[in-house]
C-alpha cells in the first residue's frame, strides 16, 4: 500500500471518528442542555412550621424559591428570609403582574444565587388563625419556629433577613432575641420611635380601636392606598390591583397588633441590641419613617458595618415601587459585601 493510500485512509478514519464524536455530542447535548435548564429554572416548595404558645399549636406557612431543586451534598447557598408587613401577606414578595416586568423579589434574588424564604405570620395568609392580634412579639415567635425549618432544610444556622415596614420591626426584634442566627439585616421602611411621622399620627386616631379589637378591615381601597398615601406615581396602580386580587382571597380582615405597636409601643427595636450589620433603606417620600428618626437609630447601632440609603422616587413600599430595581441593587450589594478585615 502506497504512502498516499495510507494517508487517505487516515483522513477517512479521522473524519469518521469526528462524525462519530459529533453524533455522540449531538445525542448528549439535549441531555446536558436539559440539565442546565433545570439548574437555571426557579424551583419552589412549601413548608409548615409549628408554633406552640398559650393559644395552642399554631401552623405557620413557609415558602421557598431558589435556582434548581436542592441536591444532596451540594454546598449550602446563602439564605435570605423576607419578612412581610402589617397590611399584606408574603404574597407581596412573590407578585406576578402581567405586562409589568418582574415584581417577585423572591425570583430576582433566587437568580442572584440566594436561597430565598418567606412566611405568612400568625393570622395572615395561609397560616393558622387564633384569637391573638399578631403583634411584633408574636412575630418574633413565628420567626423562631420558622428558622428551625430553614436550618433543617438548608444546613445553615445563620441567615440574612430582609423586612419591610413592620416586617423590619419583626426582623429587628428577632435579631435582638436570637443574634446567633443573624448574618446581615436589611430594614426597609423601618420605624424607630415614630417621631415626626404623619402616617403614624393619623393612625393613632384609631388607637382605642386597636387596643380593643384584634382585627381590622382591609379592603381593596385600603390596599390601593399603599400606592397613593405618600406620593402618587411612585407605584403602578396595576400592581396594587394585582396585589389586592391575591390578598383578598384570604379575607377582608387582618390583625391590629403591629398597628398598635407602631402607634403606642415604639421603640420595639433597640439599636444597641442589634449586633449584626444593618442596611437601613428609606423611600424618599416615606410618610412613616422620617429621616431624623432613622438617623437616630443608625447612629446608635454598635456594628461599624452599617449603611443608610435613601431611594429616590420611592415611598413607603420599596418592594413594589416602580423603582424597585434600586432596592434590589442596594440590598444585593449589601448582602454580598466581602467580609471586612478586622483592624
Give the angle 130-190-184 at the CA atoms, nearest 5°: 95
> Is the Cβ–Cβ distance between 269 and 258 less than 8 Å?
no
Rounded to 5 degrees, φ, ψ at 306 are -150, 150
The three-point CA angle 230-99-188 to 5° equals 35
Q: What is the rounded CA–CA span in Å between residue 240 and residue 234?
A: 12
Question: Do the Cβ atoms of 194 and 200 come closer than 8 Å?
Answer: yes
Which residue reads 419552589 in cell numbers?
Answer: 44
CB 226 within 8 A of CB 234: no
Outline where the chain has alpha helix (H). Answer: 3-40, 105-111, 136-154, 166-177, 198-203, 207-212, 220-228, 237-247, 257-264, 291-300, 324-335
Length of the chain: 343
Least Cα distance to 62 among 173, 181, 165, 153 occurs for 153
- Along the 343 residues of the chain, how does pLDDT read in single tens digits? 443 343 334 433 443 334 334 443 333 444 554 555 667 899 999 999 999 987 789 999 999 999 999 999 999 999 999 999 999 999 999 999 999 999 999 999 999 999 999 999 999 999 999 999 999 999 999 999 999 999 999 999 999 999 999 999 999 999 999 999 999 999 999 999 999 999 999 999 999 999 999 999 999 999 999 889 999 999 999 999 999 999 999 999 999 999 999 999 999 999 999 999 999 999 999 999 899 999 999 999 999 999 999 999 999 999 999 999 999 999 999 999 998 887 6
Say how far apart CA 97 and CA 149 lie, in whole Å: 30
pLDDT at 324: 98
DSSP per-residue string spanning 64-129: EEEES---TTPPPPPEEEEE--SS--GGGGSB--TTS--B-HHHHHHHTT-EEEEEPPTTSTTSPP
C-alpha cell at position 219? 379592603
Identify which of 87, 76, 149, 97 has the alpha carbon closest to the alpha carbon of residue 118.
Answer: 149
Amino acid at each position: 500500500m502506497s504512502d498516499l493510500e495510507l494517508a487517505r485512509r487516515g483522513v477517512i478514519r479521522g473524519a469518521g471518528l469526528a462524525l462519530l464524536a459529533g453524533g455522540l455530542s449531538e445525542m448528549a447535548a439535549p441531555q446536558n442542555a436539559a440539565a442546565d435548564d433545570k439548574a437555571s429554572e426557579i424551583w419552589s416548595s412549601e413548608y409548615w412550621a409549628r408554633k406552640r404558645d398559650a393559644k395552642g399549636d399554631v401552623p405557620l406557612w413557609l415558602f421557598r424559591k431558589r435556582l434548581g431543586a436542592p441536591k444532596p451534598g451540594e454546598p449550602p447557598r446563602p439564605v435570605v428570609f423576607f419578612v412581610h408587613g402589617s397590611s399584606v401577606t408574603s404574597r407581596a414578595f412573590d407578585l406576578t403582574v402581567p405586562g409589568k416586568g418582574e415584581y417577585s423579589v423572591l425570583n430576582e434574588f433566587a437568580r442572584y444565587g440566594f436561597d430565598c424564604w418567606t412566611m405568612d405570620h400568625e393570622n395572615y395568609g395561609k397560616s393558622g388563625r387564633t384569637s391573638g392580634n399578631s403583634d411584633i412579639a408574636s412575630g418574633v415567635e413565628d420567626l423562631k419556629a420558622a428558622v428551625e425549618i430553614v436550618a433543617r432544610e438548608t444546613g445553615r444556622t445563620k441567615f440574612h433577613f430582609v423586612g419591610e415596614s413592620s416586617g423590619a420591626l419583626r426582623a429587628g426584634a428577632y435579631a435582638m432575641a436570637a443574634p446567633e442566627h443573624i448574618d446581615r439585616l436589611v430594614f426597609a421602611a423601618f420605624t424607630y420611635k415614630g417621631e415626626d411621622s404623619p402616617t403614624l399620627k393619623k393612625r393613632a386616631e384609631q388607637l382605642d380601636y386597636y387596643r380593643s379589637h384584634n382585627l381590622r378591615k382591609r379592603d381593596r381601597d385600603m390596599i390601593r392606598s399603599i400606592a397613593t398615601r405618600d406620593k402618587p406615581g411612585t407605584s403602578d396602580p396595576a400592581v396594587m390591583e394585582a396585589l389586592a386580587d391575591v390578598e383578598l382571597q384570604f379575607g377582608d380582615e387582618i390583625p391590629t397588633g403591629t398597628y398598635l405597636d407602631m402607634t403606642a409601643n415604639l421603640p420595639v427595636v433597640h439599636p444597641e441590641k442589634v449586633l449584626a450589620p444593618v442596611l437601613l433603606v428609606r423611600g424618599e417620600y416615606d410618610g412613616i419613617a422620617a429621616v431624623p428618626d432613622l438617623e437616630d437609630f443608625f447612629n446608635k447601632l454598635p456594628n461599624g458595618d452599617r449603611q443608610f440609603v435613601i431611594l429616590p422616587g420611592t415611598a413607603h413600599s420599596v418592594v413594589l415601587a416602580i423603582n424597585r430595581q434600586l432596592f434590589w441593587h442596594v440590598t444585593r450589594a449589601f448582602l454580598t459585601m466581602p467580609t471586612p478585615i478586622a483592624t
